Amino acid sequence: MSDAHRRPKTPEATRQALLDAGVRLALAEGLATLALPAVSAEAAVTKGAVFHHFGNRQGLVEAVAAEILARIDAEFQAALGAGAGGFGALTRAYLHCIFHPANSHSPWATPSLRSLADTALAGLWRDWIAAQMAVHADTDSDTALVAVRLAADGYWMSRVFGSVPVPPGPEALFAHLLARTRKDAP
């Protein structure tokens, strides 16, 4: 009898290991390139485990995309909860996530941003941000806040493509944009 037959079955741990592996690979290389053998190897499980938990590649891709979005949302909600609330609350949380991701493996971190070019994830991102804006319409619809978020998006994209240096540096830009999220900002 092989070790695989003697090991205790831990289906939830196996599913989570597959999701974690899929997220790592998707954030590094994109959802479009997600391959079952690579995910199973990264998770140190059989390819059959991928089929058991997700049915097929499309099921895995959808679950990984949902997991990435859940991680984006968790980090965003933590930043939102840590803030003062009121005018510009969503925009300040957005700035914190973009300029200060929780860690290098965060979906908000620079290498991960490339994954938003994937059609499946881009649609989920668009729907997520629209839902956040609907919830925070009373605090974050001001034109000045829209401009701050668009500037942050520009900074985000310049990091992804390495296209535009930010003199005098990201922290100065962060402070400048953050100051613009106050109701009395010039």
CATH number at residue 54: 1.10.357.10
Domain count for the chain: 1
In this structure, is residue 26 part of a structural domain? Answer: yes
What is the C-alpha separation between 50 and 37, in angstroms, rounded? 9
What is the C-alpha separation between 134 and 61, in angstroms, rounded? 27
In this structure, is residue 185 part of a structural domain? Answer: no
Residues 60-101 pLDDT 10s = 999 998 998 899 899 999 999 998 899 999 999 999 999 998
What is the C-alpha separation between 76 and 93, in angstroms, rounded? 6
pLDDT value of position 130: 94
Q: Give 76-82 contacts, CB < 8 A, sequence gap 24+.
A: 76/132, 78/102
Residues 24-69 pLDDT 10s = 998 888 888 899 999 999 999 999 999 999 999 999 999 998 998 8
In this structure, is residue 184 part of a structural domain? Answer: no
Predicted TM-score of the model (pTM): 0.83
What is the C-alpha separation between 78 and 80, in angstroms, rounded? 5
